[in-house]
Structure 1
Amino acid sequence: MRHTDETIDFRLGSAQVAVPVLLGMALATGLLYLGLRWTADPMTAGELRTCAYAVGAGVIGVLILPRSRGARLTPECLVIFSPFAQRERRIPWADISSIDVRRSVGVRRVRISLVTGERLPLAAPMSFLDRHFEARVEELTAWWDTHGR
């Protein structure tokens, strides 16, 4: 999270990105190993080691690549970043009707509702591996109270 006098950025931390990737790649490697174990051509120790190296390289890649998902609070609007969107989405504070926290699969995430009825989940802040989640939600709500209501 980056702070300046005029903006606050919420981004996912390295662990919040790397841990799910690591677990997914390890699970995929394990399933591949088990699948090949009962075939006529089981996986050798060298092939398993190669898969483990690929998992490690994937995690390192995730940690090195910039995290482009998140939100920025400005005095004028809430800016939402997405890795697949062509550009950021700017939502004026006055267009936000509510901010709430939803739980899904044990992870709490912030969801904003717009006056148009549209509901948008924010990528960050997210409670998974974030000790300061509650403080970040309070900060987001305070910005909305100050600049939009």
Structure 2
Amino acid sequence: MIKSSKIIIVAMTEQFLIGAAGEIPWQIPEELRLFRDLTSAHTLIMGRHTFASIGRPLPDRRTIVVSRHLSKTPGIEICPNLPSAVQLAENYGEKIFFAGGVGIYRDALPLADLMSISWVKGAYTGDTYFPAFDLSQWQVISDRDYGSFRHVLYRRC
């Protein structure tokens, strides 16, 4: 089987802010459309809290939720930990997107081949931050300015 690309996908500020009380601190429709366009027809891996904040499986994507406590839910697959979620996702042969939260991002950082980061412009407040990482270990593949955010695709060096 061909190795699936493993991609962290996140929107965050330059201060690494990603959330406020379980919600996204900004409303940027164009960034949400980009997320949809990039992840459609692929597999998403997310934590239970991220899934709860979305409230439903996202259309046109396979959704794997990492949880030891979530009940069986139509439209998603549940795995007790990230390694089992990655193993399941690899069986599908699609791109694998790690879509949060913080624990998933932290554990996915050493696994990811690519990072798809929407750098949100502006000042926002919140309480949830993307884990620290060494940007010097990542090479910019593409960089596009959308006005309210800049989307940068990084490949591990």
- The structure whose Rg is larger is 1
Higher relative contact order (CA 8 A, sep 6+): 2
Shorter chain as normaliser: what TM range?
under 0.3
Kindly indicate which of the two structures has a greater share of residues assigned to helix: 1
